Amino acid sequence: MQNRLHGKGFTLIEILVAFGILALVMGAIYSSVTSTLDATRYVEERSELYQVGRQVIFRLSRELSSAYLENVGYTFFKGEHDQVEGRRMDKLSFTTLAHRMSPMPIKGFVDSEHAAVEYYWKIEYKEDKPILTLLYRESTGFNLEIGGDEYEVSNGLRELDIRYFQGSTGSWLDEWDSKLQGGLPTAVAISLYLTDSSGVEVPFRTIVPLMLAK
């Protein structure tokens, strides 16, 4: 009787083997779940990065295509060239007719399609590494130094390369000042590079003709 009861149990070796198999199965499940979560986060991050890049290019293209100058002092077009860590990091400010007016006017506030916009950047250092943030500012008062709401577009900026086509000479210039050039460039070429959390660069490029250039 005792021998039959003893025969129905498990030996220590069998228990250890069972725990070993269970550990292997749990490890495989954990690895699979972790890989799935990592892949999901990667896809979401890349999707958000592409969305931000496309939005920047779309908005900048829309505003540039409506850039304008008048024979008054408050309209301008200025592109400045700079570098950070050996990469181009340009700035651009100009007046445009692309401002979207509010569908519900506010009492005492005069809205207009005229606006002054600026694309620029700021740099901060984290563990001695530069962190660049793309910023955007819009003012309907045509004074970027005084007014305008500032928006953070992306903190994964790696490079902002903006060049200006001079139709009279058929050449691309690194900088543009409407006061010196006497007008608008014929077209603007934009190369925007954003990075994800792993440091992989994603490029966004376009060339925008300026409809009101003379």
29-58 average pLDDT score: 81
* Average pLDDT across the chain, whole number: 83
Contact of 186 with 213, CB cutoff 8 Å: yes
**pLDDT for residue 125 is more than 70:** yes
* Chain segment 131-140, per-residue pLDDT in tens: 899 999 988 7
DSSP conformational letter for 106? P
**pLDDT for residue 121 is more than 70:** yes
* Chain segment 165-203, per-residue pLDDT in tens: 999 999 999 999 999 998 999 999 999 999 988 888 999
Q: Where are the domains of the chain?
A: 48-209
d(CA 114, CA 48): 30
Tell me the CB-side half-sphere exposure of residue 103, using CA atoms within 13 A.
Answer: 0
Which pLDDT score is estimated for 68?
92
Which pLDDT score is estimated for 35?
74
**pLDDT for residue 129 is more than 50:** yes
Which pLDDT score is estimated for 1?
45
Residue 128 backbone zone (phi > 0: left; psi -120 to 50: alpha; other: beta) = left
pTM of the model: 0.76
Contact of 191 with 203, CB cutoff 8 Å: yes
What are the structure tokens assigned to 12, written together? Answer: 């220590």
Most confident of 3-17, 79-93, 115-129: 79-93
